[in-house]
Amino acid sequence: MKIICVGRNYAAHAKELGNDLPEEPVIFMKPKSALLQSHTPFYYPEFTNELNYECELVLRVSKNGKYIQERHSANYYNGITTGIDFTARDIQNDLRAKGLPWEKAKAFDNSAAVGKFIDIVPGLNKKNINFSFYKNKELVQQGNSSDLIFNFDYLVSHISNYFSLNIGDLIFTGTPAGVGECVVGDELEAFIEKEMMLKMEIK
């Protein structure tokens, strides 16, 4: 199992971080050890002083594939949920300033939290999925899949040109505007429409 993440996939988020809009998907990866296991506490990492949350829609890969044509992409994922891409922003900014890779800021242990999955059924409009993210009961992020620069099917096809997709892989599809800092004691909740998908506390 691997975790494939897409950066800068919402125009407003790219703007808030001062990044140009991408001409193709920005891809980075997290190792299996980045996945926060169910019912496992999340502890604030000791190496950062600026831990950020980034809430995203996450796809569950259901079929092995390589060089997938976009028109067939929908056959390769069957579940969706919300996830949090935790980012050590101070570490990332320092590494970026030096022109270095920033896996230490994005791919550390337990940096990927995912909620419960809902099945993608024929009646689900994948181009109009609302999701929202609350910190201590305050709405801090909200997005809709219609605002993705690169939609689900395009992402699956594009990613498969470079990395074989395997059953159980996760695709973090990008975060909307509103990313921010979280601290010890914060309670985080993520929803698709009105259904809570993920709830956790920073320890």
Instruction: Residue 162: give the domain boundaries.
Output: 3-201
Q: What is the CATH number of the domain that holds 177?
A: 3.90.850.10
State how many domains the chain has. 1
Residue 83 CB: number of other CB atoms within 10 A? 27
Q: What is the pLDDT of residues 60-85, one digit of tens each?
A: 999 999 999 999 999 999 999 999 99
The predicted-structure confidence for 143-195, as pLDDT tens digits, reads as follows 999 999 999 999 999 999 999 999 999 999 999 999 999 999 999 999 999 99
